[in-house]
Amino acid sequence: MGDVLRYTASKDTAPATVDGFDNFYFVTDSPGRKRALLEAGINAMAKVKVGHGARRPAVTIRSSPWKAGTEQTPWHDVFDIDNGHVRYFGDHKPETTKPVGATSGNAALLEVFDSHQAPTAGGRASAAPLLLFRSISKNGKVKGHVQFCGVALIERAERVVQWGGPARTTFTNYVFDLVVIDLTAEGDTLDWDWITARRDPEITDAEVLELAPAAWREWVKHGYSVLPKVRRRVARSQVVKVREQRPVPGSSVEADLQAVYRRFDSDKHAFEVLAAVVAAKVMRASGHRYNEGWLTRRSGDGGADFVGRLDLGSGLAGTKLVVLGQAKCIKPESLVSAEQIARVVARLRRGWIGVYVTTGSYSEPAQLEMVEDQYPVLLINGRDLLKELYEIAGKDHGGDLMSCVEDLLSSRSLEVLNRRPEEILLD
């Protein structure tokens, strides 16, 4: 998903890369079969005969944003990939003399739409996937590069009246609302072997389905009712790349983070004190009252290393939230996984929030799971940990980071208690 491919005029399947980009024809090569093409906006692969009749392997869709609003392409396609929605206009134009549903592209998509509405799993198993691409500009050129935008199903087809063309007149066309399916299980990639298998008349629909993405198989099994579940929804804007969570290599910040890690690598319980202090600073930065509570036992803490309380409002217009904290002193180049964060999430009750503090970084899959499942957990990575410590050191310790750390440990040691987290609401 999102990869840019070189789409050359020569249509050669070799080499694997052209001008530093993956070769579209190499990536989509099915040995012994005709090349996949993006010459038109809607490109239907030829059907193959199978036991039950015929199967169309796929339909490739190409949108050219740079043409939108022109006489050649008077419509504007909408690609909202992160929310799994594409609104794609058919190929009927003002000068087309054929009936609106008889143009090659519209006819192909209407046929696919019928198969996508099939009431049985058997009918849906042979339905053709839509493979979405967008033309993008590279090196000042609007042609020759395409971006893969995913696999889609047609949710609805609608006849619309548009305006455009040389005569500036109205004409009828089709517009298709597409559901871009979730490819998270496949690492946001499409295995072309699935399409190659769909092009082989010797391979049954059931065998082909085994190669399909997990979301596609889910849709084949359950149909229209699972479209909300299989739709791609990725809050990319809330996911921080791993490299952006780490200090610049060779910088003083990286050296300081390594120093903090070495200080606590053999004293993980002391790091819990530091994590609790930093978590308190972050919580108070929002302007709310935060009460530091206690550290949990060294072992058997059940996924929480420290406990605090966040007070919002006052009186009848106020509430108190239990805060469960997890501290993880790991190598700065290490990643915290979704499974590790899940330990804190599993402890949370309604109205509780969590905070995870580490010297490492959070994997992107872990962040995606947090966003998509809306877990109320704050994530503080190693770089942010240093940022908070720098502010404390600069204000109260003359900028000496490690001196600041030692002072925090000696002056802010929290009591280790064997209490239930909810007891902090009574303090």
Say what the pLDDT of residue 53 is: 87
Say what the pLDDT of residue 299 is: 63
Cα 251–253–255 angle (5° rounding)? 75
Say what the pLDDT of residue 95 is: 85
Q: Which residue has the higher pLDDT, 63 or 417?
A: 63
Residue 143 has pLDDT above 90, yes or no: no
Q: Tens digits of per-residue pLDDT, 186-198? A: 989 999 999 999 9
- Tokens 């050649």 belong to 72
Q: What are 318's two structure tokens?
A: 């106020």
> How much is the average pLDDT of 409-423?
82
Say what the pLDDT of residue 230 is: 93
**Residue-wise DSSP of 163-190:** EETTTTEEEEEEEEEEEEBP-GGGTS--
Residue 69 has pLDDT above 60, yes or no: no
Residue 336 has pLDDT above 80, yes or no: yes
> How much is the average pLDDT of 163-188?
86
Q: Tens digits of per-residue pLDDT, 15-45? A: 999 999 999 999 999 999 999 999 999 999 9
Cα 31–34–38 angle (5° rounding)? 120
- Tokens 């994997």 belong to 363
Say what the pLDDT of residue 303 is: 67
Q: Which residue has the higher pLDDT, 100 or 395?
A: 100
Pairing of strands 169-180, 85-89: antiparallel
Residue 389 has pLDDT above 70, yes or no: yes
83-87, 125-129, 240-244, 399-403: range with lowest mean pLDDT: 399-403
Residue 66 has pLDDT above 70, yes or no: no
Say what the pLDDT of residue 371 is: 85
Say what the pLDDT of residue 301 is: 57
- Tell me which range, 56-70, 202-216, 363-377, 402-416, is most confidently predicted by mean pLDDT: 202-216
**Residue-wise DSSP of 343-400:** HHHHH--TT-EEEEEESSEE-HHHHHHHHHTT--EEEE-HHHHHHHHHHHHHHHSTT-
Say what the pLDDT of residue 144 is: 93
CB atoms within 10 A of CB 64: 19
Q: What is the pTM of this model?
A: 0.60
Q: What are 416's two structure tokens?
A: 């280790």
Burial label, 189 (beta-carbon count in 10 A; 0-12, 13-18, 19+):
exposed
